[in-house]
Amino acid sequence: PSQSVLLTSAGAPPSAPPPVFLIDSDPVSLNVGWTLPDLCNGAPVSAFTLEAVKHEQSALVYEGPSLSRHLQGVAPGATLWLRVAAINSHGQGPFSHPTSFTTPCAPPSAPQAVAPQPSGRHAAHVSWLPPAAEGGSGVTGYTIKVDRVRAGGHHE
């Protein structure tokens, strides 16, 4: 009979996890998540690295054991590209494919320096400056509300 041989693997970093997914969002934050990679390669996953990617450059967003992260302070209407990598005792594996996420837009702030000027008995001229915050999508128009005021200052 032949002799038995026991083969062992040295292990390796985990494979790339599936892409990051959106849990929920609002105009100034994103709540994203990810799952374990298909292959842990001989050691359990102990942490993850989440990065934002832009034009071939990356920035660390989070490193730790969690399967989700709440990203605050994002501008309304902003787009972030995110990728995640898993880490085990053999090192960090490759990153997932980057996925883009866009925060919803918010309403713009009020116009600035609103200045009504009478220009006749039945007319008025109103001027203003654009709002300080556009809400992420730009201002596409303005609504002017007219209140009629009777003699004595009573609104109709």
Q: Report pLDDT for 150.
A: 65
Give the model confidence (pLDDT) of 116-155 as tens digits.
Answer: 887 777 777 888 888 888 877 788 888 888 777 666 656 5
Global pTM value: 0.74
**Angle value at C-alpha 99, between 96 and 102, nearest 5 degrees:** 155
User: How many Å apart are CA 67 and CA 98, to the nearest integer?
Assistant: 16
Work out the number of other CB atoms within 10 angstroms of the CB of residue 123.
Answer: 7
- What's the token pair of residue 148? 């009629």
Distance CA 71, CA 30 (A): 5
- Answer for the pair 76, 105: CB distance below 8 angstroms, yes or no: yes
Q: Block means of pLDDT (10 residues each) for the chain, length 156 residues?
A: 76 96 95 96 95 94 98 93 97 97 88 83 82 81 78 60
Which pLDDT score, from 0 to 100, does residue 69 have? 97
